[in-house]
Amino acid sequence: SKAMGCRFRNQLPGSFKLSSDTEFRFLTLDDVETKGKTAFVRVDINCPLDPSTNRILDDTRIKMTRQTLESLREAKVVLGSHQGRPGDEDFTSLEAHAKLLQKYVPQQVKFVEDTIGPEARNQIKNLKVGEILVLDNLRLCSEETISGTPELLAKTVMVQRLSKLLDVFVNDAFATAHRAQASIVGLPQVVQAVAGKLMAKELEALKKAYYAPQRPSVYIIGGAKAEDKLPIIENILTTSRADKILVGGVVANVFLRATGVDFGEVENRRLEKSPALMDKARVILSKYRDKLLLPKDLAVLQDGKRFDVPIKQGTRGDPVRDIGKETSLGYANIIKQSKTAVSSGPLGVFEEKGFELGSKTALEAMAEQGGFTVVGGGHMGSYASMLGIDKRLSHVSTAGGAMLAFLAGETLPGIKALVDAARRQRAA
Ligand code: 3PG
């Protein structure tokens, strides 16, 4: 069948980068012949956008697709990614992404304003060697927004329609490997599946912290996606991968609210919106209060300026923009004394003048730490490069949630799909 149209270079692929680790025995681009073939490359070029203009603020994730795409110069490449989530401000078309991509790759980049419809399929059929066709935001197709088993997602119209036109599926979206979505786990059920260069590189770099973290190990977790981060925090503590977790951003506010800190009526209600999340925060606090460090003070925006307030006092409804000064210094000390430090998600709104302190102090402490340091999540990674300290960190990951889930020892659906595909291939 077309799905098996991709010949193996090695009959028994033995060139796994991570061959000693049975849990990561997947195939890579070195194991398949892609010359003249149609390859679907799932990347994660979900970028931070300017909320008022939709301009791409940081194109690191676009740049990082380069290695994989260059190695597919003799193939016909279909590129798929999501950007934001339907209903969110940053849910946009990928047209601007395609334009930026052209700066980084030798192939001719084309964009089609369609995902799985006749226009997209026609253009895929007519692709030439040396061309890259960027499909529009995959989440415009509703089937990409459901979570499901690989078997179920393999039956979606999306996977059925696309797979008929493809010879090989390349997963280079490490940053989306924690999502059980059609283009991540459905396609590798029916198309020959391999890991891309970035996927392999990220896993190689993170293995050290995954298998044997040097102690003390500290995680610095901020950002906005509290519903994602709380279960991961619980896992990291349950599996003892971290000796301490320092929190900031919305994640910290959720915990603080669970302890009764007053954020003012409106904000209190917003933080309590999900009773399940509040319950999760209380459970984590009751089990791990000694390992989970919450801010002692917060920085709020008042009359256009930064004000640091002790949490006892509450924020009186003023918008929280950062962790406080005392908290920042306390966190920095713990980070400097650690041997492993992993950070994902900003501790404050560092883009706003006066509110850089929390994230900046944490990153600078990591740069000084001298042990194993990893920064993940688009925002903190690009802030580290803006501060000019990215080279002093062990690894800057393109992934946020996926990196944390991986380090917490969770099985990432995207990686499992590749491993299962390789196992089926060996058995065949
Ligand atoms: C991320 O930035 O964490 C990934 O792109 C995943 O995005 P999602 O949380 O919307 O699935």
The tens digit of pLDDT for each residue in 28-38 reads 999 999 999 99
User: Residue 7: pLDDT band by 50, 70, 90 thresholds?
Assistant: very low
Q: Which atom of ligand 1 is nearest to 402's Cα?
A: 3
Ligand 1 in reach of 179 Cβ (< 6 A)? yes
Residue 17 above 80 pLDDT? no
What's the confidence (pLDDT) of residue 421? 97
Residue 61 above 70 pLDDT? yes
Q: How far apart are the CA of 175 and the centre of ligand 1, in A?
A: 7
Q: How far apart are the CA of 144 and the centre of ligand 1, in A?
A: 13
Ligand 1 in reach of 44 Cβ (< 6 A)? yes
Residues above pLDDT 70, as percent of the chain: 95
279-308 pLDDT, tens digit each: 999 999 999 999 999 999 999 999 999 999
Cα–Cα distance measured from residue 38 to residue 74, given in angstroms and rounded to the nearest whole number: 10
Ligand 1 in reach of 401 Cβ (< 6 A)? yes
328-341 pLDDT, tens digit each: 999 999 999 999 99
- Which residues, listed in sequence order, are joined to residue 80 by a DSSP beta bridge? 42
- Sign of the Cα torsion 280, 270, 316, 343 reads positive
Residue 5 above 80 pLDDT? no
219-262 pLDDT, tens digit each: 999 999 999 999 999 999 999 999 999 999 999 999 999 999 99
Ligand 1 in reach of 144 Cβ (< 6 A)? no
Residue 94 above 80 pLDDT? yes
Cα–Cα distance measured from residue 205 to residue 393, given in angstroms and rounded to the nearest whole number: 12
Phi, psi angles (nearest 5°) of residue 101: -60, -35
Residue 419 above 50 pLDDT? yes
What's the confidence (pLDDT) of residue 72? 98
Question: Comparing C-alpha atoms, which of 155, 154, 159, 103 is closest to residue 132?
Answer: 103
Mean pLDDT of the region 99-125: 98
Q: How far apart are the CA of 4 and the centre of ligand 1, in A?
A: 30
130-166 pLDDT, tens digit each: 999 999 999 999 999 999 999 999 999 999 999 999 9
> Which of 179, 181, 202 has the most ligand 1 atoms within 8 A of CB, as the residue to mutate?
179
Q: How far apart are the CA of 389 and the centre of ligand 1, in A?
A: 25
Mean pLDDT of the region 364-386: 93
Cα–Cα distance measured from residue 294 to residue 210, given in angstroms and rounded to the nearest whole number: 25
Query: In this structure, which amino acid lies at residue 395?
Result: H
141 or 385: whose pLDDT is higher? 141
Residue pair 116/137 in contact (Cβ under 8 Å)? The answer is no
Q: How far apart are the CA of 410 and the centre of ligand 1, in A?
A: 16
Q: How far apart are the CA of 178 and the centre of ligand 1, in A?
A: 9
Q: Which atom of ligand 1 is nearest to 401's Cα?
A: 3
